[in-house]
Amino acid sequence: MKQLAIFASGSGSNAENIARLFHQGNRIRVGVVLCNRKECGVYQRMEALGVPVIYMPNSSWDSDPERVIETLRPYGIDMIVLAGFMRAVRPEIIDFVDGRVLNIHPSLLPAYGGKGMFGHHVHEAVIAAGEKRSGVTVHYVTEEIDGGDIIMQQELEVLPGDTAATLEERIHALEYDLYPRAIVKALGEMTSAAVPPQIPVPHPQAADSAPKPAAPASPSAAPVTPPPASPDEAWAKALHINNYSDREAERARARAEERRVPPPTGVAAGSPATPPPAGSLMHPAVAEALAEGKQIPKSYMWVSILMAVIFSTIPGIVAIVYSASVSSRLSCGDLAGAEKASRMVQGWIIASFVIGVLSATLWVPISILTGF
Ligand code: GAR
């Protein structure tokens, strides 16, 4: 049994696909998922599959790789799989699994790779450049961003009406097919186990377009051959998943669907980014962050109140000081000074109000965008 660790930062649809597929067999397991964000879709997706997800702050990824390694150690990890993980992996972690760290990138590397090229940015760049083809690459991770040896790559055509969003959707479908096969291939390279060079692709249309066995001309003309396995069954066989059956997979999917709890924000984890309705006050970056599975922190209300109180208190105190000055100046007959102090009181009251409101309301988008 080979154990995988998945590192994720976002919606986690690839992580879910990998775990769901391999857990139908008995050769590969996802032992643990590490995530560098507190609020993202991968927690819910993995909960439904019974896979632990551990939060690991960015400070550990950047400067405390030992903490990551010690977290992984009890799981006896053979390979690390990055699935939408938006952080550099320190060389110490790569060494811990003898270089067996895989990443999936949504382009035909080396094109559209490197710093700043991730997720939807890749698709936007591909569309802007008028490319006719794009695709998916699975590669080994090295210190160079998107620079390691390529394990598998698969192309698709960029269609004339494609937008970044439609392209991303089709790329995702391609990823769900390619990544598990690339993992099996890399595990095969690791153990030198024989892995079929060409594993059938379980494309949804394949079932319809797969060549049907020719009907024998007469009952005695040809031996009766058993009907071919479905594309998914053939694929599972190639992946050495022994107990796979379409019917059981369908049942497992239905059971997982029943158990799935909708996210509290009303955004389905991993659902494609839904643009805010026309006229909505929601900033597109916030809508996108929510659609990626980031959620409003549970601490939101209390932190907002605290922020409002803290930030409005200082100008509030200044306003009180000035109002004391108004009365003392009036009692001394200093009308001009009292008028000036009165203007200052008004100014500081307004400042206290504005800063209080801003610190309370801006907390929501800032916390969502930073994943705090
Ligand atoms: C995937 O499309 C993956 O290729 C991309 O992030 C997405 C994560 O989706 N990764 C990169 O861009 C890495 N440079 P998911 O969270 O739904 O699996």
- In angstroms, what is the span from residue 260 Cα to ligand 1's centroid? 22
Pairing of strands 150-157, 79-83: unpaired
**pLDDT at 371 (0 to 100):** 53
Could you identify the residue written with the tokens 């208190």? 313
For ligand 1, atom 14, the nearest C-alpha belongs to 118
- In angstroms, what is the span from residue 174 Cα to ligand 1's centroid? 12
295 has a pLDDT exceeding 90? no
Mean pLDDT of 95-122: 95
Both tokens of residue 289? 């962050």
Residues with CB under 6 A from ligand 1: 8, 10-14, 83-84, 104-106, 118-119, 172, 175, 270
**23 labelled catalytic:** no
- In angstroms, what is the span from residue 103 Cα to ligand 1's centroid? 9
Q: Using the atom order of ligand 1, give the atom closest to the CA of residue 118.
A: 12
For ligand 1, atom 1, the nearest C-alpha belongs to 84
Backbone dihedral angles phi then psi of residue 281, each to the nearest 5 degrees: -85, -5
Confidence of residue 8 (pLDDT cuts 50, 70, 90): very high
- In angstroms, what is the span from residue 104 Cα to ligand 1's centroid? 7
> Alpha carbon of 112 to those of 11, 116, 135, 175: distances in Å?
22, 9, 10, 16
d(CA 56, CA 65) in angstroms, rounded, equals 10
Q: Ligand 1, from 6, 14, 109: best to mutate by most atoms within 8 Å of Cβ? A: 14
263 has a pLDDT exceeding 90? no
Q: Using the atom order of ligand 1, give the atom closest to the CA of residue 104.
A: 4
Interval 189-207: pLDDT, tens: 765 433 343 333 343 333 3
The percentage of residues in the chain with a pLDDT greater than 90, rounded to a whole number, is: 46
∠ CA 97-109-22, nearest 5°, is 45
Q: Using the atom order of ligand 1, give the atom closest to the CA of residue 12.
A: 16
Q: Ligand 1, from 30, 37, 104: best to mutate by most atoms within 8 Å of Cβ? A: 104
Mean pLDDT lowest for which of 14-18, 72-76, 218-222, 226-230? 218-222
- In angstroms, what is the span from residue 83 Cα to ligand 1's centroid? 6
